[in-house]
Amino acid sequence: MELRINNISKRYGKQYALKDFTVSLNDGIYGLLGPNGAGKTTLINTILGIIKQDEGSIELDGKDVRKLGSHYYNLVGYLPQYPQFYKNFTCREFMEYMCTLKDVPKSQISNRINELLDLVNLSDSTAKRVGAFSGGMRQRLGIAQALVNDPKILILDEPTAGLDPKERIRFRNIISKLLKERIVILSTHIVSDVEYIAKEVIMIDRGSLVKKGTLKELTEQIADKVWEIHTDDTTANLLMELYSIGNVLATEQGYCLKIVSEKCPASGAVHVVANLDDVFLHYFGKEET
């Protein structure tokens, strides 16, 4: 299966939310990565058909999704950034409601709910009211409802925002189980959410495609732009004002800084191995002066 986004643009007045955005997706997990306001949610809403692009097209296996109509939307599952639930529903009641909305055959509803709640580790909470769920439990329920129709395209918008580290790890583990014959788009500005599970990373800023590639490809492209330096307090403070800093570690002698820079930031700096945080800083960090 191929989902192709062809030169789509979306304007609000004179401002572009998306501009000539083109990308092709096949089965696997894609991290949609960019700073806040980069255009991630606009892109997602366009793929979902919530808003219409001004220019360009979106095609599934070579067919315009607008012409596919309900057939296309039946293949899509979606977890919004701020999912809303009926708080007085129990977990099972909510899932039964979603199954009905998505036309799951009545004879399959019970088994489908059991299967999904087991996947997201909510099997012991079926009788609990959703209003009493923690943030992590609500996000896991959100994944379950997005999977009700066994979607071939699963879109997750900032799914781990506000979750503690344990729940974020749990969430990533759940997503990793959904690879088979499915396109998963994970939109986030949290780099670690995609670093370990994404097949490819799509980087977007100001509505335009910045880069697309595997973690290996992206880190290799900036291999000569990541530095480490051990220095004193005064120099460390100066470097932090001038450059994009990936990490700061206090030592007995001063500080150890990881810096992303096109040029050597200071005498004594040496190259170190790049990671996805460094890639993010390279494309979206401060401009050097």
Question: Binning pLDDT at 50, 70 and 90, where does residue 286 land?
Answer: low
Q: What is the pLDDT of residue 177?
A: 81
CA–CA distance from 7 to each of 24, 93, 112, 241 (Å)? 11, 42, 38, 38
Q: What is the pLDDT of residue 222?
A: 96
Q: Are residues 131 and 185 in the same domain?
A: yes
Average pLDDT of the residues in 1-10: 96
Of 197, 218, 239, the one marking the end of a domain is 218
Helix, strand, coil percent content, the chain, rounded in steps of 5: 35, 30, 35
Q: What domain range includes position 41?
A: 3-218
- Residue whose C-alpha is closest to residue 190's, from 201, 174, 178: 201
Of 200, 218, 236, the one marking the end of a domain is 218
Of 218, 246, 275, the one marking the end of a domain is 218
Alpha helices in the chain (DSSP H): 40-48, 65-68, 70-73, 91-101, 106-119, 135-146, 165-176, 192-195, 215-221, 233-242, 276-284
* Residue 76 domain-assigned (yes or no): yes
pLDDT per residue as tens digits for the range 202-254 = 999 999 999 999 999 999 999 999 999 999 999 999 999 999 999 999 988 89
Q: What is the pLDDT of residue 289?
A: 45
pLDDT per residue as tens digits for the range 23-49 = 999 999 999 999 888 999 999 999 999
pLDDT per residue as tens digits for the range 105-160 = 999 999 999 999 999 989 999 999 999 999 889 989 999 999 999 999 999 998 88
Tokens of 283: 């494309």
Tell me what percent of the residues of the chain surpass a pLDDT of 70: 99
